[in-house]
Structure 1
Amino acid sequence: MLLVAVGLVAVALVIVAVLIGTMGVGTTGVARSLELVNYRPDSRSVVKSELAAKDRFVVPFEEGLKGVARRLSPSGTAERLANNLDKAGNPPGWPVERIFAVKGIGLVVGGILGPLYDGLTFKALLVSMGAAVGLFFLPDLLVYNTGLKRQESLRKGFADALDMLTVCVEAGQGFDAALTQVARTVTGPIGGEFARVLSEIQIGKTRSQAFQALGERNTAPEVKNFVSALVQADRLGVPIGGVLREQTKEMRIIRRQLAEEKAQKVAVKVIFPVLVCIFPVIFIVILGPAAINIYDVLIKR
């Protein structure tokens, strides 16, 4: 009994010491008052009944859908989506978290479509599974397709932007000033990319790091070659004007080659419309009267 009493007293002393230590942690006096003044309650520190309807119902449901989508997605999906969003220009209002929420909503909507289509049957189960899988991966496909379109648009406008950049540098402007001029003047994705490069340089990145990030965000071979040449010139101390001049010459050659390539593809692309739309009409015009005459001869006989 004596040992039990001593043990209980020891436990009580430990608890009291922990409570005293906990009470002593944190600021006091004026600092504590300032913390209370600057305190901003969030949804976790407020009673649920005091929250708005959106915070009580919509937000928890959305968070649950995000969790389900994350658990069902393969590993590395968040990084892949972030990379594809960079290639798509990071559309405003569509971060990775919202895409996961949309994927979760797609699962729910796909699961509901089956019973709405055919009731509680095996066919409805198959429809639900197919619709859920399709709607779950639809946001990935849309982000990827948006990135492809933006990369193609960037590739088309890159040559003009590089020409203007070369002219500005050769006219005596500094490289950063020339980049600013291109970002303000050139429309399209390439202007936004150059503006982002300038912003990254202003927040502390080196020029090489900013342009390397530009090369990682874009898949166009011309952009990657330009970034590699620029980074190499920056490391070796080569004059930027000469590098830009050579890159501009190379871009003109590439543009001419791309135009020739597209011109050679036209003959192949025209075959299918000709076979489907033009040849049947020609056959009808040429063989139609003959077929009518043959039909009349056979009927008269």
Structure 2
Amino acid sequence: MTIFSGSMVPAALFFLAVLAAIPGIVSFMRNRQADEDVNRRLSRRDKESPGEPRRTESRIGRAVMGFADNAAPAEGAEVSAVRAKLNLAGFPQKNAVSRYFAARLVCVVIPQVALLFSLPYLAGYPKYAPVGLSILLVLLGLSAPGMYLDSKIKQRKQAGSLGFPDMMDLMVACVEAGLSLDAAVQRVGEELELRHPVIAVHLRTLSLELRAGRARKTAWRAFADRMGIEEAGSLATMLRQAEEMGTSLGQTLRVFSADMRQRRILYAEEKAMALPAKLTLPLIFFVFPVLLGVLTLPAVVMLGKVLPSQPG
């Protein structure tokens, strides 16, 4: 008798799916009562339309969104790390963390349910194959949202690095034309709306912080942290040093802009120098066999026709 009989495999997979869903369900049940108390107090204060229920969204939609909002822990180091990654990926919304944890839960449970219904089609495979496939799907479901965030962060960083020299050129032009640094930030953000929207969003946030009265060095450091690229950090450090030492802002920005242009040229040269090394393996595995066959096959055919055939 085997350890897992044919009838025990579906039950085991269903148990794994339920076990993976337990943390989100517990968190949902823990926070649902508090949300109901808050909504009850708010409804008591709403005297404009008494007795009229809200019909802007369905009950199912409210339940789904409420589950997503309550499926994540409210505080902790993990939440802070996830929020930082979401900000770098371009999801600064307040409920982005809860949606991320809800997405992880869905990516774990849905494949398990699909595997449970596809068990009759896996009858010809070994008995331990569904269990191994279930474990693999759990690991993929847990890592898929993180991989998506990493790809978004990489894309945004590349877009920021690509448009940073253009931003610096426009910043130098605005400052040397007589605008202050704060006004130049707002103007450059408006100019980069279409060509570099990622940088434009960060500049708009920076402009709002400066207009709200935040210290300039603190606002620029927060701008560098939101962009997450080396160039932004260097710019924030340079502006802080220029403000402390009293140096010319226009000249400082011009030197930094020239350095950004030179860095872009060096980056392009580095990519060009790495191209021959990257083409070596494709040439060896794909081009060279085809070329060898084209050169040698006619000779082989001609030799087969010229040489006399040996009797068997």
TM-score class, shorter: 0.7 to 0.9
1:230-256 Cα offsets, whole Å, 9 max, x none, are 122223333321210110121122112
Match of 1:37 in 2: 47
Match of 1:86 in 2: 87
Secondary structure at 1:37 match in 2: coil
Distance 2:80 2:94 in 1: 18
Match of 1:255 in 2: 264
Match of 1:24 in 2: none
* Contact kept in structure 1, 2:161 and 2:231, CA below 8 Å: yes
The code of the aligned residue for 2:47 comes to V
- After TM superposition, the runs of 4+ consecutive aligned structure 1 residues lying more than 6 A away are 38-41, 91-94
Distance 2:229 2:222 in 1: 14
C-alpha distance 92-78 of structure 1, shift in aligned 2 (>3 A): closer
Alignment of 1:34-183 (within 5 A): 35=45, 37=47, 52-54=58-60, 57-59=63-65, 61-62=67-68, 66-67=71-72, 76-90=77-91, 95-119=96-120, 121-183=127-189
* Contact kept in structure 1, 2:69 and 2:99, CA below 8 Å: no
Q: Does 1:279 align with 2:285?
A: no
* Contact kept in structure 2, 1:110 and 1:133, CA below 8 Å: no
The code of the aligned residue for 2:170 comes to M
Secondary structure at 2:178 match in 1: coil
C-alpha distance 56-282 of structure 1, shift in aligned 2 (>3 A): closer
C-alpha distance 250-117 of structure 1, shift in aligned 2 (>3 A): same
Match of 1:239 in 2: 248
How far 1:273 moved relative to its partner?
A: 2.6
C-alpha distance 247-63 of structure 1, shift in aligned 2 (>3 A): closer
C-alpha distance 40-162 of structure 1, shift in aligned 2 (>3 A): farther
Match of 2:218 in 1: 209
C-alpha distance 124-61 of structure 1, shift in aligned 2 (>3 A): farther
5+ residue gaps, structure 1: 1-33
The code of the aligned residue for 2:231 comes to E
* Contact kept in structure 1, 2:202 and 2:226, CA below 8 Å: no
How far 1:299 moved relative to its partner?
A: 7.2
How far 1:280 moved relative to its partner?
A: 1.9
CA RMSD of aligned residues (A): 3.1
C-alpha distance 258-58 of structure 1, shift in aligned 2 (>3 A): closer
TM-score, length-normalised on structure 1?
A: 0.74
5+ residue gaps, structure 2: 1-43
Q: Which has the larger radius of gyration?
A: 1
C-alpha distance 293-117 of structure 1, shift in aligned 2 (>3 A): farther
The code of the aligned residue for 1:215 comes to A
- Bigger relative CO (Cα 8 Å, ≥ 6 apart): 2
